Amino acid sequence: MRLLVLGGTLFLGRHVVRAALDRGHEVATLTRGVTGSPPDGARALHGDRDDAAALPAALAGWAPELVVDTSCQTRAAARNAAAALGDVRGYAFVSSLNAYRNWPPGPIRGEDEPVWETDDDEYGPVKAFAERELAAVLGDRFLTARAGLIVGPHDIVDRLGWWLRRMARGGRVVVPDALDQPIALVDARDLAGWLVDVAERGIGGAVNATGPAGMTTLGGLLEVCREVTGGDADLVPVPEADLVAAGVEPWQDLPLWLPREVAATAWDVDTTRARQLGLPVRPVRESVADTWDWLRDAGELAPPPRGLARPGLDPDREAALLGLRR
């Protein structure tokens, strides 16, 4: 079938294109044309989703039957997609757990938890608006995948990548003392293939599209990073109070770390429907090892998307914290 990927040149979108091509679809991508080319075999269409005329113009003469939407970041983009693509057979939308009004900190007991209904342009409310806008037109042909932490090759957000490079550098490494805090993740390749599958099947509704609660811990993930890089890193746990006092920002300066009161429930997300619909759970070690293999050949990474700052703790700040732990 003719499958349109909204996005398709970065991280998850690239994996969606590859999965769709592998399944025999005729694939086109729609981007602004500033983030490179899609994988070989896909047709590259260009247009700004915020421009109501751009999507119909780009699709002139090529009518998609299926859509996987990985790039919706504005209310205008959602409205324009709903207007132009309302007659497709299946539409899989990449949303976020941030669409839930109480996440973080959670927990999320199921897909019927309340979502944002405010008019501001923060990430979560925009995703929740896009879900409503598209579902109003597509009905049960619309599936929204509320994703959490996505990892894997081609990840330029670089949270896992920073830890891998830091472990490979070795020496004493500042880590939060809350290494037993749970964490859940989904491999981009698994999510991508699943998105194509549910679009093909015309499945609708909301799905918490992440790994199961309890799949690993922050400490377990960092230990795997140390093992796959083969470095001699010596993990030095620093109390949360000391990190906060030093201005270390959770999730940003020490990627994947959340404050204790948030971490206790943030990854307590019910993924029953995701498991019922076949979203795979890849071994953590495989995701980490494949990401490291990609990183070693990737060269300098492109800037993170959506204006995000590149994560990681500055070496001078890390040295200062380590000096306190001697």
Average pLDDT, the chain: 96
| Amino acid code (one letter) for 261 | E
pLDDT confidence band for 306 (50 / 70 / 90): confident
- Residue 91: closest CA among 23, 141, 56: 141
Q: What is the pLDDT of residue 63?
A: 96
**With 90 as the cut, is the pLDDT of residue 205 above it?**
yes
The whole-angstrom distance between residue 112's C-alpha and the CA centroid of its chain comes to 21
Residue 315 contacts by C-beta under 8 Å, 6 or more apart in sequence?
Answer: none
| Amino acid code (one letter) for 154 | H
Residue 52 contacts by C-beta under 8 Å, 6 or more apart in sequence?
Answer: 76, 79, 80, 83
Which tokens hold the place of 18?
């590859």
User: How many helices (H) and strands (E) are present in the chain, helices listed first?
Assistant: 12, 13
Q: Write out pLDDT tens, residues 227-239.
A: 999 989 999 999 9
Average pLDDT for residues 70-98, to the nearest whole number?
A: 98
Residue 280 contacts by C-beta under 8 Å, 6 or more apart in sequence?
Answer: 187, 190, 193, 194
pLDDT confidence band for 325 (50 / 70 / 90): low
CA–CA separation, 128 vs 153, rounded Å?
28
- Residue 312: closest CA among 184, 166, 171, 104: 166
Query: Among all chains, which residue has been given the structure tokens 């037109």?
Result: 137
**With 90 as the cut, is the pLDDT of residue 324 above it?**
no
Average pLDDT for residues 126-132, to the nearest whole number?
A: 98
**With 90 as the cut, is the pLDDT of residue 326 above it?**
no
Q: Write out pLDDT tens, residues 275-288.
A: 999 999 999 999 99
Q: What is the pLDDT of residue 266?
A: 96
| Amino acid code (one letter) for 296 | R
Average pLDDT for residues 112-138, to the nearest whole number?
A: 97
pTM here?
A: 0.96
Q: Write out pLDDT tens, residues 133-178.
A: 999 999 999 999 999 999 999 999 999 999 999 999 999 999 999 9
CA–CA separation, 279 vs 111, rounded Å?
15
Classify 127 as helix, strand or coil: helix
Classify 275 as helix, strand or coil: helix
- DSSP-derived letter for residue 215 is S
Mind listing the domains of the chain with CATH numbers? 2-150+186-209 (3.40.50.720), 155-183+215-267+283-323 (3.90.25)
Find out whether 226 and 172 touch, Cβ atoms under 8 Å. Answer: no
Average pLDDT for residues 47-55, to the nearest whole number?
A: 97
Average pLDDT for residues 213-218, to the nearest whole number?
A: 96
